């Protein structure tokens, strides 16, 4: 049986994954470009290959979106790359779902993993690790976006998500800013509690945000536009691309 993600509505609603509810709010937004400025004199980015979609489970093997991914694929990919198993599962499920919602997006799990590596070392920043439900502990917060070495992003959440009521900072293993999370609250593990500090939830939000930001990750221009929605710095794109290509090479033998 092939698991399908079917959106209820274009402006908002939920997604059914193999009969299990996984919430995702679909609200069109202009991509919020994160702090770093583009670097016009930087070398051109070497764009990575996009890994094929993860293998699907013959039958759902767990709650929520994560149940669609073949556990054997997850184990083999985690062993080959050194990425935590929870993160591999989250990336794989998220790109499957994003392709259903945004047909033709072509986001490879390895590019999403490249962003996860660049943002938080797959949720390991500061010694964090995931509990059985995918929640990162300790929770991961970025630097204040106060305009000193970053763009200036005034507070958008009253401290609800990032704990600071005077300025924004990125949150969770995928380092989404509060405004982005508010636009794309997601439940990837089926517990019906959208949580930006949960790798399954934040990976779904990140994948949908990325696919909304570009037409397709299968072209160099589309890949660049998608990643720039996360961070416009050329050095950022190259770091993501290098990690993504490494994961592709480690798993395509």
Token readout for 46 is 């070497």
What distance, in Å, lies between the first and last C-alpha atoms of the chain?
A: 27
d(CA 175, CA 12): 23
pLDDT tens-digit map of 8-57 = 222 222 232 322 323 333 333 333 334 444 455 566 789 999 999 999 99
Q: How far is CA 104 from CA 97, 100, 108, 116, 154, in A?
A: 12, 9, 11, 22, 35
- Residues sharing a CB contact under 8 Å with residue 69, sequence separation 6 or more, in sequence order: 54, 55, 56, 57, 61, 89, 92, 93, 96
Helix (H), strand (E), coil (C) string for 114-171: HHHHHHHCCCCHHHCEECCCCEEECCCECCCCECCCCCECECCCCCCCCCCCCECCCE
d(CA 106, CA 36): 25
Cβ(135)–Cβ(110) under 8 Å? no
Spacing of C-alpha 92 from chain mean position: 10
Domain that holds residue 122: 5-251
**Number of folded domains that form the chain:** 1
pLDDT top residue among 163 and 91: 91
d(CA 27, CA 19): 23
pLDDT tens-digit map of 177-225 = 999 999 999 999 999 999 999 999 999 999 999 999 999 999 999 999 9
């Amino acid at each position: 049986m092939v698991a399908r993600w079917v959106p209820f509505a274009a402006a908002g609603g939920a997604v059914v994954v193999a009969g299990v509810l996984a919430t995702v709010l679909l609200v069109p937004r202009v991509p919020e470009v994160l702090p770093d400025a583009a670097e016009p004199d930087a070398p051109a980015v070497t764009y990575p290959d996009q890994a094929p979609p993860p293998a699907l489970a013959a039958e759902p093997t767990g709650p929520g979106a994560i149940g669609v991914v073949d556990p054997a694929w997850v184990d083999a990919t985690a062993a080959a790359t050194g990425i935590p198993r929870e993160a591999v599962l989250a990336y794989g499920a998220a790109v499957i779902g994003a392709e259903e919602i945004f047909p033709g997006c072509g986001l490879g799990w390895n590019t999403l993993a490249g962003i996860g590596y660049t943002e938080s070392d797959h949720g390991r920043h500061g010694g964090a690790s995931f509990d059985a439900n995918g929640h990162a502990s300790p929770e991961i917060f970025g630097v204040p976006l106060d305009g000193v070495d970053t763009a200036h992003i005034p507070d958008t959440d009253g401290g609800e998500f990032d704990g600071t009521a005077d300025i924004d900072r990125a949150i969770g293993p995928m380092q989404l800013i509060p405004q982005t999370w508010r636009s794309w609250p997601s439940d990837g593990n089926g517990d019906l509690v959208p949580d930006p500090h949960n790798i399954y939830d934040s990976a779904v939000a990140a994948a949908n945000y990325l696919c909304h930001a570009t037409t397709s990750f299968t072209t160099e221009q589309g890949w660049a536009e998608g990643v720039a929605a996360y961070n416009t710095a050329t050095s950022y794109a190259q770091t993501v691309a290098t990690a993504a290509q490494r994961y592709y090479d480690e798993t395509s033998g």
